[in-house]
A and B are shown apart, each in its own frame.
Chain A
Amino acid sequence: GENVEQHPSTLSVQEGDSAVIKCTYSDSASNYFPWYKQELGKRPQLIIDIRSNVGEKKDQRIAVTLNKTAKHFSLHITETQPEDSAVYFCAASTVGGSQGNLIFGKGTKLSVKP
C-alpha cells in the first residue's frame, strides 16, 4: 500500500522568510496530493492540492510542486507570517479508485517567529 514520508517534522523560520516542506510517496498509482493546515486543537483545512497531470500550482503565497518520476512533492510558503504557524500535513491518494482514501504524512510543525 501507499506510504507517505514527510520532512522535516519541525521547522522554524523568521517572519518574511520562505518555508519548504517535502513529502515522498511510494505508490506510483497515486495521482492526487493535497496539503492541509491544522492549527492547535482545530480541524485540518485543505490549503492547496495538485493532481499528477501538472507539475506546479500556486495560490498567492503558497505553491506546491510535484515530481512524478522521483515520487516527491513539496509545499512552498513565501513571505511567511506568524499566522502561518501550524502543523502542515501532506497526503496522497488515488482519485477515481474504489476507495478515495488519503494516506497522510506525519506532519510538520511550522513556527514563524516575528
Chain B
Amino acid sequence: DGGITQSPKYLFRKEGQNVTLSCEQNLNHDAMYWYRQDPGQGLRLIYYSQIVNDFQKGDIAEGYSVSREKKESFPLTVTSAQKNPTAFYLCASSNSRSPPTFFGPGTRLTVL
C-alpha cells in the first residue's frame, strides 16, 4: 500500500496537549516530508528531512517538531504552541533531492 504507513488514522487532542504522529516507510527513501492539508487548501510543507539526523523547517514549522533518528521513521510532534492544529496531516517520501512521490494515508487530527 505505497510503502508508507501513518498512525493513528484519527487523533483527538485536548487543549495544551502535545501529540505525536507516526510515519514509517520501507521504500529505502532518503527524504521524508510532512505536509498539512486544510479544507479547500493545497498541501503546505511543515518539515522535511533529506538524511538521517538532519531536518529543515518548511513553510509552516511553528508549533511543530520532528526527529529523524532512523531512515525509515520521521515522527511529527504537534505541540501546544500550534494554535490551530486541526487538519489532515500527510507524510511523504522520495529519493534524495527529488520531490515527494509517495504519500502516506494521512492522520486526521482534531482538537477538542
Contact = CB atoms under 8 A, between A and B. Distances in A.
User: How many A residues are at the interface, by size bracket?
Assistant: 20 to 34
Interface secondary structure of A, over-half rule: loop
Contacts of A34: 99
Given A43-B105, A106-B40, A107-B40, A95 B98 contact: yes
B94 A43 contact: no
Interface secondary structure of B, over-half rule: loop
Given A101-B45, A101-B58, A107-B42, A44 B90 contact: yes
A2 B33 CA distance: 18
Given A43-B105, A43-B106, A46-B101, A100 B31 contact: yes
B97 A44 contact: no
Contact of A104 (B43, B50, B56, B105): B43
B56 A99 contact: yes
B74 interface: no
A44 B43 contact: yes
Contacts of A96: 97
Interface in B78-112: 90, 94, 96-101, 103-106
A24 B33 CA distance: 24
B42 A105 contact: yes
A49 B62 CA distance: 31
- Indicate the member of A32, A93, A104 with the most B CB atoms within 10 Å: A104
11 contacts: A43-B106, A45-B103, A91-B99, A96-B97, A99-B56, A100-B99, A101-B99, A102-B100, A104-B43, A106-B42, A107-B40
Interface of B: 2, 31, 33, 40-45, 48, 50, 56, 58, 90, 94, 96-101, 103-106
Given A43-B104, A101-B99, 13 more contacts: A4-B42, A9-B40, A32-B99, A44-B43, A44-B90, A45-B103, A95-B98, A97-B97, A99-B56, A100-B94, A100-B98, A107-B41, A107-B42
